Amino acid sequence: MAAVMKVRILTVGNKMPKWVQTGFDEYHKRIQPMLTTEVVEIAAAKRAKNPSDANLAQYREQEGQAILAAHATAGREQLWVLDVKGKMLSTENLADKLSDGMQQGDDIALVIGGADGVSPEVLAKADVKWSLSALTLPHPLVRVVLMEQLYRAMSINHNHPYHRGN
């Protein structure tokens, strides 16, 4: 196995419910020896009570600019965007992609967009568009699912017994 890669999770929103933080922290702690991870929380755009479509586009744009600014602070880092229209990956496929990234020496920025999605600019810059599910998932839950899947994939790559695939 190559050197430890770094994954930064660029996520819109903060002040997660306790159950989210507890679940996230559990997998975050477990994965550290295999995959250095960091969470970068990006402030959500201030929303109107009854936003128009133009407002929603403006929110995505504002959050997108902040995501791209956070991504620009890193060196060699692939941009992976979680998007319902992205490519679905099995856990084994994810393990392979992470292994390939390690071999290439790349770090990864994983984007969890805001409540209104991700801006077209962020999607256009994405190296990978990844769908966790065809279901619409609440953004706090995505944090937990994402961290668990990263842990599961790295368990495969390190021959750890956590994953019991087919």
Output the tens digit of pLDDT for each of the chain's 166 residues: 445 689 999 999 888 899 999 999 999 999 998 999 999 999 999 888 887 878 888 999 999 999 999 998 777 799 999 998 999 999 999 999 999 988 888 899 999 998 888 999 999 999 999 999 988 888 889 999 999 999 999 999 998 777 666 5
Distances in whole angstroms, Cα of residue 29 to Cα of each of 66, 92, 140, 151, 153: 27, 22, 18, 10, 15
Phi and psi dihedrals of 81, rounded to 5? -115, 125
CATH code for 6-47+55-157?
3.40.1280.10
Per the structure block, which two tokens stand in for 120? 């077209």
DSSP codes joined into one string, 7-51: EEEEEE-----HHHHHHHHHHHHHHTTTSEEEEEEEPPPP--SS-
Name, in order, each residue with C-beta under 8 angstroms of 138's C-beta and a sequence gap of 6 or more: none
Which pTM does this prediction carry? 0.90
CA dihedral 160, 81, 131, 59 (to 10 degrees): 140
Side chain identity, residue 138:
P
DSSP class of residue 105? T
Q: What's the pLDDT at 14?
A: 84
Beta bridge partners, 111, equal 10, 81
Beta bridge partners, 10, equal 40, 111
Nearest to 16 by CA among 30, 28, 33, 4: 28
Other beta carbons less than 10 A from residue 118's beta carbon: 22
DSSP class of residue 114? B
Q: What's the pLDDT at 1?
A: 43
